[in-house]
Amino acid sequence: MKFIDMWDLDVRPGQLTTWRPKTDSLRTADWIPDGRPASYLQEAHLHGALRSAAEGRRGPSWLATTFELPGPLDLDALRAALLGWVDRHETLRSRLRPVVDGAGVTRIDRATLPSGEIDLVRDDFGTFADSGALRARIENVLDEDTDPLVWPSFVFLTVEHGDSTTVCVGLDHLNADGYSVLLIAYEVVQLYRAALEESDPGLTPAGSYLDFTGPEREAVDLLHDGHHVVRGWREFVAEGGGRLPEFPTPVTDGPDRPATAQNGGLDWLLDAAQARALDVVCKQEGGDLFSGILACLAMTARNRYGQERFRTLVPVHTRAQRRYLRSLGWYVGIAPVSLPVHAEDGFAQVMKEAGEALRIARPLADAPLGLLGELLGHPLEPRFMVSYMDARWVPGARRWADWNARALRSRRFDAHEVYLWVVRSHEGVYLSFRFPDSELGRTVVPAYLEEARRLVRLVAAGL
């Protein structure tokens, strides 16, 4: 499944319908007060949304997926599938509300509905003959109906083509991480087929993200100024002169540039055969595919910009318990990666350094950036991130091409962020990326990525 930006979505013309979640339990008393806290990521996300709203610069922060169901759409079966999916994931039936107490402190209160309390309201937008207009309308619905500050912050859409139907599931980042988005198509397809056939969907039980958040906070509460995780971050931030890593060369013309629309795209690094070949090369040298690709990115920064230390942030999943493997939620920590890239070092040595840097960094992902900012005395703003996901083992991965499944992310406005997402699928390895749509960004980032891709392919070829 490709993770693409909204502007790259190609959806066939057809009849557009929204399916908005609703509940008759609108009274406060009908929502069950829930003592399970918001996760650190959720709390930081909500506070950020409140600040942005107060400053009049709110932007979308949703993730989405699209996929196709074959044949004419059975409305009752799809309704049953979507409601079954909402019942499966408790986080979708849970409401987080910022509340200001008497001392002026904002806290996050949670209330949750039991399963079976949600319904769907359909709204027909008519038939669209132009794919561009249809894509714009879908984006508009996703922007408007996934506000993290209200419930529901998720929405469903369908585009009926006659011979098939495109389904779109969109939800604010508050509810899900990128891996969660990859789970959706398979689950909804299974639930839809089960509704049609009156059979069991055969889904593995999914733990509740709400059961994860309390233990997460208890573990984080053990962190303190002298904790080894905090010391590791302090050293990493000091190494960068008090800042988190930035792209190896400037992508904007000044530190105070206002928010800029982000550009981006997707390139295939390797086909399936090349990916297997790179895997073999890396393992022969004691590494793995991600440490090998990270080494190529580091060597490219050295070769182009003379940098002999490569620094970046790497997302790490926090689904340590098996019950959360199929759970919808925001199970992500951030790890700080720093490795030397000396002028004389070849691929094998740099990959060794990358592997060691990842090993050291992973335990540091237990500390949320917001808390670290408090402990270190200044906010930490991520600007350069490299993510890796092996999606071959996600349920339904071999059917994604049959379903024309895609993962989407909303538009983003930032003058400094450069994010790279490396994803391995059964088709190979692709690189999805974003960068500021500035003159510098458009010049340096694509050229850097093209050189890195050439190096990755050379290594895979054994050259």
Per-residue pLDDT tens digits for 334-370:
999 999 999 999 999 999 999 999 999 999 999 999 8
Q: Are the C-beta atoms of residues 262 and 437 closer than 8 Å to each other?
A: yes
What is d(CA 283, CA 289) in angstroms, rounded to the nearest whole number?
A: 8
Per-residue pLDDT tens digits for 5-40:
999 999 999 999 999 999 875 555 678 999 999 999
Strand extents, DSSP E, 240-331: 262-271, 309-317
Arithmetic mean of pLDDT, 273-291: 97
Arithmetic mean of pLDDT, 96-124: 90
CA distances, 384 to each of 175, 245, 354, 417 (Å): 23, 6, 16, 6
What is d(CA 423, CA 432) in angstroms, rounded to the nearest whole number?
A: 8
Query: Domain 243-460 carries which CATH code?
Result: 3.30.559.30
pLDDT computed for residue 57 by the predictor: 78
Share of the chain above pLDDT 90, in %: 88
pTM for the model: 0.95
Q: In the structure, what pLDDT confidence band is assigned to residue 142 with cuts at 50, 70 and 90?
A: very high
Q: Are the C-beta atoms of residues 391 and 397 closer than 8 Å to each other?
A: yes
pLDDT computed for residue 103 by the predictor: 78
Tell me where in the chain the CATH 3.30.559.10 domain(s) lie.
2-212
CA distances, 270 to each of 275, 389, 453 (Å): 6, 15, 8
- Does residue 124 register a pLDDT over 80? yes
Task: Residue 274: name the closest of 33, 459, 129, 111 by CA.
Answer: 459
CATH number of 2-212: 3.90.1660.10, 1.10.3470.10, 3.30.365.10, 3.30.559.10?
Answer: 3.30.559.10
Q: In the structure, what pLDDT confidence band is assigned to residue 159 with cuts at 50, 70 and 90?
A: very high
Tell me where in the chain the CATH 3.30.559.30 domain(s) lie.
243-460
Q: Which two tokens stand for residue 289?
A: 């595919």
| 224 φ/ψ sector (left φ>0, alpha ψ -120 to 50, else beta) | beta
Contacts of 235 (CB under 8 A, 6+ apart): none
Q: Are the C-beta atoms of residues 2 and 406 closer than 8 Å to each other?
A: yes
CA distances, 386 to each of 117, 253, 278, 431 (Å): 40, 23, 19, 10
Amino acid identity at 171: L
